[in-house]
Chain A
Amino acid sequence: MLIRATKAHVLFLLKRRSAQITFALLFAVVLLRFVVDVLEFRGYDVIAMYHPMKLLSLSYNHIYYNANTVILLSQLFPLLVAFPAGLSLAADQASGAQTVLLARLGPRRYTASKILAVIIATAILFTLPFLMEMVLNCIAFPLQATGDMSNLNIYDPQHIAMTDRYWLPELYHFSPYLYAVVGILRFGLFAGLLAGFTAALSTFIRIKYRAFLLLPVFLLLFYSISLEDVSLRWYNYALLFADEPKNHLFGAGLYVLPAVFCLLAVLCSGWKDYRR
């Protein structure tokens, strides 16, 4: 029943207007990036051309050239991530629908299926537009191009040192395309886990105005950016081709901690009273 309930929740969440708006927004950013790149690199020789995967919206490599999409995404991400689905549990509480859902599923199954659905739905919304962009880039740009936006030669020791700092550098060296796919899925998972964290938080704190629920993830991610230590910035562990130094413990924590928090919310849900 957990799988059936989760599936029902996922379909429900994906049909909501907030999900459609989020998808439209992300797809618009992706399309804008694509169109700008096509117009800019029209007529470029393949030798001078950048690698199609380095042109993706999620590519941190843009900081060497034209970073407006990366900036836009890294600014909007902390706000957008909880918006489509992360507030749904709080919405259930506010509307009173939670009682009829609890009556059908029981507290643990309801909480587990809901949080899982939030993670899956958000992951889908934050993966699909970028996978579509990947397909578009593969069609529009030469697959043999190998350029990097730092304009370093790919055999330059500095460039090699840079790529060695990528997440899963061996995968990148094996196939940048496979690296991009896995990286996009990782990005989606990260978004999903943060949305799940927001949903899990709403099981512990009941807030009338859901705007406040957007704040924890928003503030935590922006706090991470404010830190002097570059290895503690969240986008290093979410974006593609991020060549900043890595703190692997911190990186793992970004994924593990929200997951653990979600699990805790599910466990605690069985002990709560649902009086309202």
Chain B
Amino acid sequence: MKRTLLLLLAAAVLGIWLSWVYINPYGGQILLSQLVLQLSGARGEFPLSPYLSGLLEFTLRLVPAFLFQAFVGIRLYQHYCTASVYVFSRIPNRIRWYAGQTAVIGLQALAYQLLLMLAALVTALLRWQVVWDAAGFLLFALHTLLYTLWLIMTAVLVNLLAIFQGSSAAFAWVTGGQLALLAPLSLLPLLDDAPLTQSLLVCLNPICRLILSWHTGQTRLLAPALAAPYRGLYPIHSVVLLLVLCAAVLAVGAQIIRRHDLIVSDMESGGK
């Protein structure tokens, strides 16, 4: 409980930080839709730029996600570390236990992301004039959903890897993997003459699903709000893809939890 409260406090602080650093509209007024887009890498009215500065700035927007992965990434793993035999000898149905734990991770992810967004919004409200537009509400919900799914997927992945490799290696692999996904995006300007390749690079790279300003709005509401510099990214596809990836990670996790032999467990002290 204490850890969850600390996590939520961190979400609030990080939301305020993100808003303070990245929401600075010229003229003192900002649309809600623009505010949400800026939280996923846009700069003013411009979508995220695939150059060094843009990509590094986007990485900074992922820092709250990395922190979540570090703190929640031990939720399942800690039971393997602390008293695994004593814990699991009392749990005849590991899958049910796993489902319960991942449900809690899901709720924590949702609360974290929602609080982060709300803190950012409230901070912006106090500093600037926020103009409410319908697209903004939709984008707010979309942003929250996509990032929540991403948090769940990555946090569970850290937990699962930690069972085999220890928390530091697991965190390094998952975070490093996300950072490595960003680097190829710098090739996008070089592919302006090859729009199909450009589109493929964007569609196949899962991290692009978090960059709202690169999406194409298919509805009358969203189309004007989304700049869509690259073809192929649609909000509904992103939601479905992240849902599928999340489900896949959870399914694999269920198998691991069910089958993993408790011969060595506490990887922090080397496996005892």
Decide whether A and B are members of one complex. yes
Residues of A within 8 A of B (CB): 18, 63, 66-72, 74-76, 79-80, 83, 87, 91, 94-96, 208-215, 218-219, 222, 225-226
Q: In the A-B complex, list the 3 residue pairs whose CB atoms are closest, starting with the nearest.
A: A72-B183, A211-B167, A211-B171
In angstroms, Cα B54 to Cα A71, docked, is: 10
Question: Taking chain B's interface residues, is the majority helix, strand, or loop, or is none over half, making it mixed?
Answer: helix
13 A-B interface contacts by CB (under 8 A): A66-B190, A71-B55, A71-B56, A72-B183, A75-B59, A75-B182, A80-B172, A209-B78, A210-B166, A214-B70, A218-B175, A222-B60, A226-B60
Is B55 a contact partner of A225 (Cβ separation < 8 A)? no
Is B268 a contact partner of A210 (Cβ separation < 8 A)? yes
Chain B residues within 8 Å of A80, by CB: 172, 176
In angstroms, Cα B81 to Cα A75, docked, is: 30
In angstroms, Cα B170 to Cα A71, docked, is: 22
Q: Is B93 an interface residue (CB 8 A)?
A: no
In angstroms, Cα B175 to Cα A63, docked, is: 23
Chain A residues within 8 Å of B269, by CB: 94-96
Q: Is B21 an interface residue (CB 8 A)?
A: yes
Chain A residues within 8 Å of B129, by CB: none
Q: Is B169 an interface residue (CB 8 A)?
A: yes
Question: Looking at the complex, which one of A63, A209, A211 makes contact with B51 (CB distance below 8 Å)?
Answer: A63
Q: Which residue of B lies closest to A207 (CB)?
A: B268
Question: Looking at the complex, which one of B51, B57, B78, B175 makes contact with A67 (CB distance below 8 Å)?
Answer: B51
Residues of B within 8 A of A (CB): 21, 51-52, 55-57, 59-60, 63, 66-67, 70, 73-74, 77-78, 81, 158, 162, 166-172, 175-176, 179-180, 182-184, 186-187, 190, 268-270
In angstroms, Cα B236 to Cα A157, docked, is: 52
Give the Cβ gap from A109 to chain B, nearest Cβ, in Å. 24
Is A79 a contact partner of B70 (Cβ separation < 8 A)? no
Question: Looking at the complex, which one of B52, B158, B170, B182 makes contact with A63 (CB distance below 8 Å)?
Answer: B52
Is A94 a contact partner of B268 (Cβ separation < 8 A)? yes
Is B74 a contact partner of A226 (Cβ separation < 8 A)? no
In angstroms, Cα B166 to Cα A83, docked, is: 12
Question: Looking at the complex, which one of B59, B81, B170, B184 makes contact with A68 (CB distance below 8 Å)?
Answer: B184
Q: Which residue of B lies closest to A209 (CB)?
A: B167
Interface centre among B60, B162, B186 (most CB of A within 10 A): B186
Question: Looking at the complex, which one of B21, B57, B60, B74 makes contact with A211 (CB distance below 8 Å)?
Answer: B74
